[in-house]
Amino acid sequence: MGTRFIELLKTLIKIAIMGLVMAGIIVVNRKYLMGDSECAGICSLPLEISIYTLIVIIITSTVQSVFGVGVLLFGTPLLLLQYEKLTLVLPIVLPISIAINIFQVVKHYKYIDTDFYKRILFITIPFVIVFLALVLFLEAKFKHLGIGIFVGLFMLFVALKSYSGKIERILKAFVKYEKTYFVVMGIIHGLTNLGGSLLTAIAHEKNYPKDTTRVTVGVSYGTFALFQMLTLLLAVIGVISIPGFAADNMNISYSNIIYLIVGVVIFLVTEKFLYTNIDNEKYNKIFGIFLFISGILLIVKSL
């Protein structure tokens, strides 16, 4: 009976977290985006569900539910094919990524490598914030700026890691210089949302047990997304001043809430039926192929 009560309590906490994220989206829209208009707040939020976006969320949420990364790493380049600007993609993927990672941390927080996480927090995160602000500035200044080609090229590089000894040696060389590696990871994630590839690479190099790998990657990845979300919110309400950036650069709608709910449901299903049965070696091969194809598509789209 006690175990059932604890499980019920955990479920209620998860639902509460979802509610807080949703409420945050609505409050920001009500208070800062609509001003004193007659339809300020809830009625101002549009609802346009994209089947393509929904499919991407289902696939990437499944991957992140198993490995700790996925929604930002895979979802960002795939959604850039549709939305073209990072500022239109981030409001969709960040809440989903944060929610999934929170659920993973709640379950296995005892296995987190705290020393690793401290380096993420104090070395990587400042660069994530600075370079995300740079992207917001560049996208506001250059209306037709697309980072797809840069994301695509980096994805090709990472994808070939499993098939090229030279590329693998380059990544391993980076891992040896951890401070530099953590800085580079922050820069890449701030610019492209693809820091998850470097995050998983260094985590796998440490040969953690399975649960430690997922929760350490998950809490780090969730922290990336959390600080990106905070940076965006502070830019929207004007606490952070970014020349040319405006609230209408963001993609905020009821659709994002639907996507969030779908992502969480996918996590709950995947956690129950897939996590314990996935072969990590097989995933690494699929990971590389998927990155390669997505990278090619992004480069072609950006030319």
pLDDT tens-digit readout, 276-296: 666 666 656 665 676 677 667
- Dist CA 268 CA 265 (whole Å): 5
Listed range (18-22, 110-114, 154-158) with the worst mean pLDDT: 18-22
How many residues are there in the chain?
Answer: 303
**107 vs 10: CA distance, rounded Å:** 9
pLDDT at 151: 63
**Is 228:128 a contact under the CB 8 Å cutoff?**
yes
Element (H, E) at 118: helix 114-119
Average pLDDT over residues 40-66: 76
- pLDDT tens per residue, range 197-248: 778 777 767 777 777 888 898 899 999 998 998 888 888 777 777 776 666 6
CA distance 157 to 292: 8
Angle, helices 86-108/254-273, rounded to nearest 10 degrees: 40
pTM beyond cutoff 0.85 = no
Provide the 3-class DSSP secondary structure of residue 106.
helix
Averaged pLDDT, 175-188: 85
131-169 confidence digits (pLDDT tens)? 988 888 877 666 555 555 666 676 677 667 666 777 777
Would you give the distance in Å from CA 92 to the centre of its chain? 9
User: What pLDDT score does 282 carry?
Assistant: 67
Query: Quick one: pLDDT at residue 256?
Result: 84
Confirm if 95 and 256 have CB atoms less than 8 A apart.
yes
- Give the whole-angstrom CA distance, residue 246 versus residue 297: 29
